[in-house]
Amino acid sequence: MSFKVLVTIPWFKKRPAPELERLREHGCDILINQQERAYNEAELVDVIPGISATIAGSEPYNEKTLAAADQLKVIARVGVGYDMIDIEAATRRNVPVAMAFGTNHEAVADHAFALLATLCNQLPTYQQEIKGGRWGVRFHHSLWQGTVGIIGLGRIGRALARRCSGFEMRVLANDIAPDVDYAAANGIEMVDLDTLLEESDFVSINAPHTPLTDKMINAERLALMKPGAYLVNTARGGLVDEGALIEALRTHQIAGAGLDVMAIEPLPDGSPLRELDNVLLTPHCAGVSDKAVSLMLDRCIDSVLAIKDGRKPERELLLNPEVLD
């Protein structure tokens, strides 16, 4: 039987992906998602039978879709989030889930810092005013020597902290499993979440979305933030109570927000977030710089070819390495 690899991510319909040639050189047949968006559950059920491996995006891998995956030998996820994958269901079917850890954190940190800087300097407002024929100067906050609070001090959080340190910012951090030695060595203050929200001029969310972190930024916690503070989320939309955030933005309880992720993606046409002038929106693109995409693809291809050739992928990339034992 041929080894069929389904590339589910819609970017590659338009973006050349020379990295995929390595799969063809190893005898793989490649199918690329031809839609403009990720597969939904029903679409994945239709397309996944007979597929040996997926280079996966944000489509759902659950009991229903995995039951239809009669030949699936590996899910190789482009990126680092896996909230759309039922790891237990994959494990029961002996399907390893391989991640692209260590490849896109610098790109996400770049994007998070860009959102902070853009909001802080009110660039969208200036752009709109000048294009509308107005000319005026307004006071804005300063990144330099401001206080940033980083929720989640993993690879992305640490990369963002390095960027903020270059601006002589005070860096606060909160993490469910704090590495106090790393923090102390890098001038980062580990604090509880409430303290972080109360004292930060800028808050960046870089934590994984789990049942424990679902809607961790809610109305009560937004109320702790300074009226002049900005919230940036490049992690997952489910970490924030979107209704509470919209209300906080409407009433100017906080100064603004930069969101690369939302509760529902793509963002619905009728979402109030589209109308608010103190929110900056990007379409879940933080980790997709050219360099990061190439690194993520190569890492996923390494895992797919390892499974195809009867080898074990790098264990630290697997969410369920026990299936190979």
Report the chain (325 residues): mean pLDDT per 10 consecutive residues: 92 84 96 92 97 96 97 95 94 97 96 97 92 91 95 97 98 96 98 98 96 97 97 97 98 98 94 96 94 95 97 95 92
**Extents of the domains making up the chain:** 3-103+289-324, 105-281
The pLDDT score that the predictor gives to residue 55 is: 97
User: Looking only at Cα atoms, what is the longest distance across the chain?
Assistant: 68
CATH fold for the domain made of 3-103+289-324: Rossmann fold (3.40.50)
Concatenated DSSP letters of 286-297: TT--HHHHHHHH
Q: Tell me, what's the pLDDT at 14?
A: 77
Rounded to the nearest 10°, the torsion over CA 86, 267, 173, 154 is 40
Output b/e per residue, 279-315; b: 16+ Cβ within 10 A. bbbeebebbbbeebbebbbebbbbbbbbbbeeeebee
Q: Rounded to an integer, what distance in angstroms lies between the CA atom of residue 55 and that of residue 67? A: 18
C-alpha separations of 58 from 37, 158, 216, 298, 323 in Å: 10, 24, 22, 18, 23
d(C-alpha 223, C-alpha 234), whole Å: 21
Architecture of the structural domain at 105-281: 3-Layer(aba) Sandwich (3.40)
Tell me if domain 3-103+289-324 and domain 105-281 are identical in fold. yes
What's phi and psi for 313, nearest 5 deg? -65, 165
Side chain identity at 270, as an amino acid letter? G
Please identify every residue annotated as catalytic.
Answer: 236, 265, 284
- pLDDT, residue 10, reads 86
Query: What is the pLDDT at residue 141?
Result: 86
pLDDT at 86: 97
Q: Rg of the Cα trace of the chain?
A: 21
Centre a 10 Å sphere on the Cβ of residue 16 and count the other Cβ atoms it contains.
7
